[in-house]
């Protein structure tokens, strides 16, 4: 079976869930080979878990210049790896970093690319959701090695340990890979909540929440459920919540098991970022709100009454 490269994403020595999904997917396409690109010491805490999810080999490229989110040098190193290994496909997460690396890689290799797929068949046909969800597209790369980015939470990762010992191969980082330097890091996460695009539960607030102060109601419910907090663009533009938490066409795309929309009307641009959620619950005081067309469960009511009641019930369990 041909090798399928899986570009690994991790934070603080822990694999991102999308990497486990990619390994699970890669097993249907060929032999999963994990590629770790990062600062020295990145790979060591990850290899056991990578093997548990089927990585037969781990290619390790570690260098100070690959630390953090410096995508240009990562794309340069990855291009060398792809040229040297000629895999059947290269899989990346549809994260900010994954998509940027994939785009750069496609240009470097002059290859076709499928971004943001929610399914990929064994014969390489990817399923994408286009035009804010109104169209489902099935496409296939016809030029070069397929580069595919997978939307997080598209499938349930399952372990399947690779047979035999995992082989770790050191990869040389070319000197010209150093194309940028980090000058400042700004923390954007709020507390210890899960990362928005990875979370299996998301509780989002819209303009109906009314103020930054009122977002406590959204956060309280999210924390009880172990969920990430999201926001509509109207909430972000009104200054209720930071932009990095915006869900939608011009924000993040989420696909959790459960999406709870509080005071969100359900504009098409918001739907674009959350409509592949497995179960959608909407709370809105307007019976005509378009979000109810999409919701699996709808509650017509004031979010300031419904959300605290839901929180109370959850606390009792
Ligand atoms: P509104 O549409 O104002 O809805 C607020 C809702 O809250 C109403 O349905 C109201 O009935 C309800 N409500 C009010 N008070 C309460 C209460 N106490 N209890 C319960 N319900 C209550 N939007 C995004 O979200 N993400 C994007 O990425 C995005 N990108 C865009 C890109 C472009 C190019 C454009 C043109 C628009 C984009 N938008 C995006 C904006 C989008 O069109 C909508 O304006 C926005 O989603 C509306 O946000 P909202 O639902 O919070 O606000």
Q: Is 266 known to sit in a ligand binding site?
A: yes
Q: Is 207 annotated as a binding residue?
A: yes
What confidence score (pLDDT) does residue 273 get? 92
Please tell me the distance between residue 174's alpha carbon and the centre of ligand 1 in angstroms.
Answer: 47
CA-247 nearest atom, ligand 1: 26
Expressed in angstroms and rounded, the spacing between residue 234 Cα and the centre of ligand 1 is 5
* Residue 51 CB partners (closer than 8 Å, separation 6+): 58, 161, 162, 166
| C-alpha 18: how far from chain center | 6
Q: Does 188 have pLDDT greater than 60?
A: no
Contacts (Cβ under 8 Å, ≥6 apart) of 45: 13, 14
* pLDDT, mean over the chain: 92
Calculate the CA dihedral of residues 27, 29, 31, 37 and round it to 10 degrees.
-90
From 11-20, 156-165, 225-234, the region with the lowest mean pLDDT: 156-165
* Centroid of ligand 1 to alpha carbon of 258 (angstroms): 19
pLDDT at 41 (0 to 100): 93
Instruction: Name the residue of 204, 247, 250, 287 whose CB sits within 8 Å of the most ligand 1 atoms, as the mutation to test its pocket.
Output: 250
How far is the centre of ligand 1, averaged over its atoms, from the C-alpha of 269 (Å)?
9
**C-beta of 166 in contact with ligand 1 (< 6 A):** no
Asked whether 169 and 57 are in contact (CB, 8 A), the reply is yes
The yes-or-no verdict on residue 176 having pLDDT over 70 is no
Determine whether the shortest distance from the Cβ of 264 to ligand 1 is under 6 A: yes
Q: Answer for the pair 259, 277: CB distance below 8 angstroms, yes or no.
A: yes
Residue nearest to atom 17 of ligand 1 (CA): 302
pLDDT above 80 (res 144)? yes
Pair 157, 22: CB distance under 8 Å: no
If you measure from the C-alpha of residue 94 to the centroid of ligand 1, how many angstroms do you get, rounded to a whole number?
24
Give the burial class of 227: count Cβ atoms within 10 A of its Cβ; 0-12 exposed, 13-18 middle, 19 or more buried: buried
Rg (CA), the chain: 21
Q: Indicate which residue's Cα is closest to atom 3 of ligand 1.
A: 207
- For residues 221 and 1, the model is more confident at 221
pLDDT tens, position by position, 42-70: 999 999 999 999 999 999 998 887 887 77
264 is known to lie in a ligand binding site: yes
């Amino acid at each position: 079976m041909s090798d399928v490269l899986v570009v690994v994403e991790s934070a603080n020595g822990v694999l991102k869930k999308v990497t486990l999904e990619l390994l699970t997917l890669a097993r249907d396409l060929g032999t999963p080979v994990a590629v770790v690109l990062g600062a020295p010491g990145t790979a060591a805490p990850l290899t056991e878990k990578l093997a548990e999810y089927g990585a037969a080999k781990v290619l390790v490229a570690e260098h100070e210049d690959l630390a953090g989110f410096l995508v240009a040098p990562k794309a340069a190193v990855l291009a060398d790896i792809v040229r040297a290994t000629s895999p059947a496909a290269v899989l990346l997460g549809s994260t900010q970093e994954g998509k940027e690396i994939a785009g750069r890689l496609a240009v470097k290799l002059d290859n076709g690319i499928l971004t943001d797929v929610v399914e990929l068949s064994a014969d390489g046909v990817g399923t994408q959701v286009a035009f804010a969800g109104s169209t489902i597209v099935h496409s296939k790369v016809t030029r070069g090695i397929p580069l595919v980015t997978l939307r997080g939470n598209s499938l349930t990762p399952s372990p399947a340990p690779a047979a035999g010992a995992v082989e770790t191969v050191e990869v040389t980082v070319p000197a010209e890979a150093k194309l940028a330097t980090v000058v400042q890091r700004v923390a954007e996460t709020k507390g210890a909540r899960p990362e928005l695009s990875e979370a299996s539960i998301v509780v989002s607030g819209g303009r109906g929440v009314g103020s930054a102060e009122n977002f406590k109601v959204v956060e309280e419910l999210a924390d009880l459920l172990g969920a990430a907090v999201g926001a509509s663009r109207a909430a972000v533009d009104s200054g209720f919540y930071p932009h990095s938490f915006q869900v939608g066409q011009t924000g993040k795309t989420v696909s959790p098991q459960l999406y709870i929309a509080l005071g969100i009307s359900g504009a098409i641009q918001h739907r674009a970022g959350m409509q592949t959620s497995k179960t959608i619950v909407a709370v809105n005081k307007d019976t005509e709100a378009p979000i109810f067309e999409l919701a699996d469960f709808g509650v017509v009511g004031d979010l300031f009454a419904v959300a605290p009641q839901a929180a109370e019930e959850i606390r009792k369990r």
